[in-house]
Chain A
Amino acid sequence: MDIKPILATLGRHKFTVFLLIAQIALTCAIVCNAIFLISQRLERMAIPSYIAEHELVYLQLAFIGARPDAMARTEADLAGLREVQGVKSAMIIDHLPMSGSSSNSSLWLDPAQQMETMDATQYFGENLLSTLGVQLEAGRAFNPEEYRDLDKIDKALQTGDMKEIPTSVLITRAVADRLWPGQNPLGKQVYIGRNFALTVVGVVKGLVRPNLLERGAQYSLIHPVRLSMSAGSYYVLRCDPKDRERVLKAALAKLNALDPNRIVLDSGTWDQMRYNFFRNDRAMAGILMGVCLALLVVTALGIVGLASFWVSQRNRSIGVRRALGATRGHILTYFQTENFLLTTFGIVLGMVLAYGINLFLIVHYELPRLPLTYLPVGAMLLWCLGQAAVLGPALRAAAVPPVVATRSV
């Protein structure tokens, strides 16, 4: 197919051609960035938690206020909950993975450093590994005698009594790689808040943070700290996935039987918690997808409109070509090639624009750079769209009979 005559014809409609190219370029640029944004959200939503996601249910109770028998009452609650049929393990935890609120602290490799090395979430609670299903990769889990009560630690911090402060810690693989890349972390020391040295006794595969995922999703520490009921804490139960609904109901009934005056703030399966955690991302991904679709439809309609106009305007010259021996196939190819050329110009311009928009987003929204792989994907999408949109008008053009050439318009 010789493209010279096509270019010559397009040259006679410079302005319309320019508009079409501009529209394709803008669409290409925005769709590339929107798809990139969608993929960012999807990637975030697919973050692994490294816990037994489908086996957990939780109950969050309203805080009853500080009281001296809190630890005993918590133990009684937990003992009651463990009696519920189907419960494999139970614990109390102050912040659940992906619950949206967390306790974080700075870690220092050397207390004399100017700035902290990193920050990480702190998880407390007895039976954490077995209940949440966190996998130990190296080293050991905590021994029972290592556990300390949180309220005693608070007092010890005030009096400076170092005996009550735990000295061992479990870290995730991600933390180990950040603090000591390529080295064996077992037995190494890390400082928390500069004053307290902790010895790494074990490494877990991973454990997602309750929030702040953008600051390192797996940056978590596990401390040998025993909790009692406090504001915002959860009872977590592990059971078979198919038992979850039943266990949750039985657990609520059990707690109600132990103390009918308590308020259950929230309860559900951990899967629901994960679903809710990403609801904003999901909504945004939906909106972006809707906009992409609308953009592509509008652009396709624009191509259909302009192509139809061109076909009807060139009715006579098409007839002449047909009379001079061009086949229907030739006419069809002509319009398809014309559209391919226009789309290609639009895509080239659109790629440049896409990078411009991406740079703007990097500056204002702290997004990563657009990967190059998005460009061929966007190009293919628009080529297909253009070819599909022009097919109708092109078929109509191909159907123009040669006899038109002999009629005056």
Chain B
Amino acid sequence: MLGYYLDLALRSFKRNKVLTLLMVVTLALGIGASMTTLTVLRLLSGDPLPQKSGQLFYVQLDPYPKDRPFSRSGKLPWLTTYTDAMNLLHAHRAEHQAAMAMTRVKLIPTTTQQRPFFSNGVMATADFFSMFEAPFQYGSGWSAADDDNRAKVVVIADYLNDQLFGGANSVGRSLRINDQDFRIIGVLRHWAPQPRFYSLYLGGPNYGKGEAVFLPLQSARAAGMDPINSMSYAAGDKQVIENSPTIWLGLWVQLPDAAAVSAYQSFLASYAEQQVALGRFQRSRIGLSGLMPWLDSQQVVPDNVRMQTGLAFSFLLICMVNTVGLLLAKCLRRTNEIGVRRALGASRAAIFAQFMAEAGLIGLVGGGLGLMFALFGLWCIRQQPAEYASLAHLNGQMFLCTFAVALMASLVAGILPAWRACVVTPAPQLKSA
């Protein structure tokens, strides 16, 4: 039966080529625009570590004085002081815990052909790799002992290893960073969580290619590396940020289940109370946010992208309204044909199905064309000056999604015209014909 309906649909398309083309193109434009922006939105608001994100939590404390708070609206400070980070790390109350900051490093290649260049580096404590499940190609991360001994070791990213050592196992070789030698102890596989949840407020980009080097926090500090972002909340010695009233570290903990979360929460609360008692803090507010809620609450996805998605879907809506109008016009013109088919015994359901099949066909063709538009749209996004631009590609899921959205849009648009078609009473139509 469906074959017959599709045959009828094709005949109807041929009869009204311009109108059909108009419907297909407008639907395709709407689909193209919304799939382009939806792809980008999904990419930017995705889960950076799908297998692990449920267990990762971001820790916040409030060392700011009461009369000069961090924010007027009562937000908790984004970062943590060195003292608090170390106190919490050494308490070992979570399964894994790591403090981190971002720094700019000058990398000096061993060969003289390559010129020195700048890149971002992560300064972190030992649990960073195991907690975030960063995969190693060669070697491994450093130990807590390396942290304490200020060992001059470094883990490098795959692309840096390719660039400097042609992709060979470079573990044990040395890398010159900011005019000091560090021993390479590990090479990562390709690893760049999107969005880069751990670099939020540390000063690195939120999207795009990962950091080039990872260094033990204390070793990097001893080598004179400064964090990109730091904020002071009181006057004090700004030269040594370990001792000054300055927030500059991001603190993440891994908590396997709800019990661990509530236990850690009460531990944090008592820690803050204790700091108030000691006079270090004036307020005992704490924050412990899961990875995804943390990203959502900080609105990592740029406003522009959210606005573009809204715009694209309103565009799709208008295209759909347009299609409804045109389908309706087409179906009203064919009342004679419907009358004849009804008189020859076609049921109302059969007429309805016939018109829905026609709408569905428009949807599929529109989806195909819309896919072309979406690919073109994503190409345009890649030319844009945004840090996420290079990531804008259509994946298999979004490919299927395009057709699903197109089919759904056309079927929804088709319901009303099809219903109008199936309630046509055959007798007057036959008479007038």
A contact set with B: CB distance below 8 Å:
15-16, 19-20, 22-23, 26-27, 30, 34, 37, 62, 65, 114-115, 154, 157-158, 193, 195, 231, 263, 265, 276, 279-280, 283-284, 287-288, 291, 294-295, 298-299, 301-302, 305-306, 309-310, 312-313, 361, 364-365
Smallest distance from the beta carbon of B237 to chain A beta carbons, Å? 6
Given contacts A30-B314, A298-B30, A305-B22, 10 further A-B contacts (CB under 8 A): A34-B311, A115-B72, A231-B104, A263-B118, A276-B385, A287-B308, A291-B33, A298-B315, A302-B326, A313-B332
Smallest distance from the beta carbon of B422 to chain A beta carbons, Å? 15
Closest Cβ neighbor of A310 among chain B residues:
B329
Bound CA–CA A231/B333 (angstroms): 73
Interface presence of B67 (CB below 8 A):
yes
Cross-interface CB contact of A62 among B106, B303, B304, B314, cutoff 8 Å: B106
- For chain B residues 277-330, which have a beta carbon within 8 Å of chain A? 303-304, 306-308, 311-312, 314-315, 317-319, 321-322, 324-326, 328-330
Assess the A309–B179 pair: CB atoms within 8 A: no
Bound CA–CA A154/B238 (angstroms): 8
Bound CA–CA A288/B239 (angstroms): 47
Bound CA–CA A154/B333 (angstroms): 83
Assess the B318–A295 pair: CB atoms within 8 A: yes
Closest Cβ neighbor of B389 among chain A residues:
A283
Assess the B311–A298 pair: CB atoms within 8 A: no
Closest Cβ neighbor of B336 among chain A residues:
A409
Total chain B interface residues with beta-carbon distance under 8 A: 48
Interface presence of B116 (CB below 8 A):
yes
Interface presence of B384 (CB below 8 A):
yes
Contact A30 B26, CB 8 Å, known A15-B416, A19-B324, A305-B326: no
Assess the A279–B314 pair: CB atoms within 8 A: no
Smallest distance from the beta carbon of B155 to chain A beta carbons, Å? 24
Assess the B311–A291 pair: CB atoms within 8 A: yes
Bound CA–CA A195/B117 (angstroms): 41
Assess the B315–A302 pair: CB atoms within 8 A: no
Assess the A23–B318 pair: CB atoms within 8 A: yes
| Contact residues in B for A62 (Cβ distance below 8 Å) | 106, 118
| Contact residues in B for A298 (Cβ distance below 8 Å) | 26, 29-30, 315, 318-319, 322
Interface presence of B420 (CB below 8 A):
yes
Interface presence of B168 (CB below 8 A):
no
Interface presence of B386 (CB below 8 A):
yes
Contact A263 B115, CB 8 Å, known A16-B325, A16-B328, A295-B318: yes
| Contact residues in B for A34 (Cβ distance below 8 Å) | 311
The residue in B304, B306, B308, B420 that gathers the most chain A C-beta atoms within 10 A of its C-beta is B304
Bound CA–CA A364/B118 (angstroms): 37
Q: List 21 A-B contacts (CB under 8 A).
A: A22-B321, A23-B322, A26-B314, A157-B238, A193-B235, A195-B235, A263-B106, A263-B117, A263-B118, A265-B118, A276-B385, A283-B384, A284-B308, A288-B311, A302-B321, A306-B326, A309-B333, A312-B333, A313-B332, A361-B307, A364-B306
Contact A19 B318, CB 8 Å, known A283-B384, A312-B333: no
Assess the B318–A65 pair: CB atoms within 8 A: no
Contact A30 B325, CB 8 Å, known A283-B384, A291-B33, A305-B22: no
Closest Cβ neighbor of B317 among chain A residues:
A26
| Contact residues in B for A195 (Cβ distance below 8 Å) | 235
Smallest distance from the beta carbon of A248 to chain B beta carbons, Å? 20
